[in-house]
Structure 1
Amino acid sequence: MLDSARRSGGRIWDLSLLGGAAAAILLFSGQLESAERDFDAYIAERGEDLTACFKELPELRDQGLGLGMTRGAERGAPSVPIRRVVLALDASGSMAGRIGGQTKMDIARAAAIDFVSNLDEDIELGLVLFGHTGTNQESGRADSCRGVELTQSIQRDDRSALTRELENVSATGWTPLAAAIEQAGESFQATEVPGEQVVYVISDGEETCHGDPVEAARQLSESDVRAVVNIIGFDLPREERDALHAVAEAGNGRFLEVANARELQSSLSDAAQNRLANQGALARTQLNTGGGQAANALSTSGMLARSKLCLKAATGRERLGLAGWARERGLDSDTTRAVGELLDARAESYQSQLAEFEAEAERRRAAADAALQEDLDRTTDAFRDTQED
């Protein structure tokens, strides 16, 4: 249609688009050129600027965050600064077991105190103890399973009080792990930045109080606090490793297994400075990708909807004003009908341009979304590489 169209002053029409009766009458009467002149005159006087409906395409998000991953013993600045940490320490009776002449509780206590003392002063810190009440006998189970306590509210100032709590804790009862994760999460605040609030759980065993720590970790990670749940498994029985690994995975965190005091100390230090930052970087990239693609879709669909509405309204106004204008000029009905069909041809030609405009907008959106996805894929691959270090 567009290739065969006659162009006049930037206006597009074609004799083949006229209705058969109107075209035949005009050809017979020799009034075709007059109808063309009337059409051009009407567009000059009453025509709309239809090109205004095809504004510039919207700005799209196609850039990733450029977050890098720290590896091994690197000590670079975290991609996502940690703002709040809750240390959740298992004080169940099994922590009284010995490794190399020391109880597991003594080893965990010393590692936790060192972790606290070396944590950046700007980070708010809290302490949850669990399994530290009741006994590890069946008769003391109910009391112990209720024994989940935020013994130190989250703060950045007085860490000496938290250290004293750690020094005084002793291995006692059962393991209410799910309740401990839930209690830790209550100390956090809503945030738009995944990974800046963290739970570190130090435990030597799985849940023994009929809770669901996997679901507790998942809910905390997916809630508006966007927290990460890391599990440091200490001298674990083989059959309990998978259970604790599943908790960390559900909490968008990392599962670390340690066998002795040196490994526990190293794991806490490394997790605080490197691997947690990597988890946060991945989570932020995931959020950026999803948010960017949603914004691109909204911008593109909104712009196209406005363009379609603009064109429909403008061509409608052109068609609606023709009858009065034709009466003012004394045009007969056949000429008026022919000019109307030329207006319809003009509207149809712009509909074709709108379809091309829409195709280009969708192509650009797909390209922008693909660029965001590529950045997420690169970040995900880099994160997996760090987990293998």
Structure 2
Amino acid sequence: MYSSSVTLLASGNSLGAYIPAMHLHTYLQSKGIGTEVHVLENLYHEEVRHKIRSTKKAFHADFSVARMGHKLAKPVDSSLDEEAVRRMLDGWRQVGVTRFAVFTGFWLPILERYKAAADISLDIRLIRLDASDTPSYKVHKPLYLGCDNVWFYEPSKRSPGSYLASDEAEPLPYSQRTGRILIHGGGWGIGTYAGTISELRKFGYSLDVIVYDPSEVEEDDGVTRYFGTEAFWDPWSRDAQGRHTFPPMVRYVREDGILREFPLGDYSEYTDLMRNCVAIISKPGGATLNDSLAFGIPFVMLEPFGDHELHNSAYWESCGFGIRFTEWKAQDFSKPMLEEICRRLLEQRSKINHFGRNTYAAENSSYV
């Protein structure tokens, strides 16, 4: 007997290969579809996992170091604990796992091993949330060519066909939003996001800033808000029930030099920030493109991290869903320009369905 559940293969190396997987996991669970999330780093040797934090810190401190690291990406085979991989593959074979949604190309060699061992037909869908190959797919091109590549942002179409979120809630109308702008540097807090804060304050924008480190939090001015992820959390960690979770988020407030932390109750509180904002400012990562579409948020794009993000930026701009920060600045940070971008996003969003509904829930008529 083969399992009808969906196995989601994510990675903690990038939240762009983790958060979308968690959104799909949450959505499918709500539709009664069984899911199991695996995070690649749990298969690494312990000492390799320990090095990830120092690498993240170096990338955050110097964007040029991050770009160089991107160019040097290579297969992760040497990082893998062979015994952990074997246990996982044996477990899949015993329960008859056949359906996979894959969020990073680094899983491909492991799936090739499973194909050979299982000797059954597999449904493997590669979730491509960028407009071109990311490093994890570039290094495994011969393997991904034979798979079902689900391109969310295929350049030739100029119109995304689906999105990922934890639910199917409609985006808020622009006029009902708080008017705040969300600023972040992706899961690793990299890029030029911090330099935009003072400029936007001068133009009267209220900001929600996602910091990589609490030391970035400035004295409370009554307008700018700061948020971040709890320091103890890693994407490959599990809760007391052995489950992977969304990042536990906190709000930071610094008053008279004293920093206080206020935990957010649930990750949905963070997605509510996104639903309410009038723009998001970040480097053009694939997961942020998805946020832009899922929640109808105009995307003001900073300097890209690698060739794939350069393609992402060009694609989103060509669709009319975003604008480069330098261009928006040249337009004096125009609010009407954001509103027009939002109109186009909401129009596109109204034409499409959740990827989980299109692909998995549609297989059970009770969810259609």
> Structure 1 length as normaliser, TM-score?
0.28
> Structure 2 length as normaliser, TM-score?
0.29
Which has a greater percent of helix?
1
1 or 2 for the larger relative contact order (CA 8 Å, sep ≥6)? 1
Structure of greater Rg: 1
Which has a greater percent of strand?
2
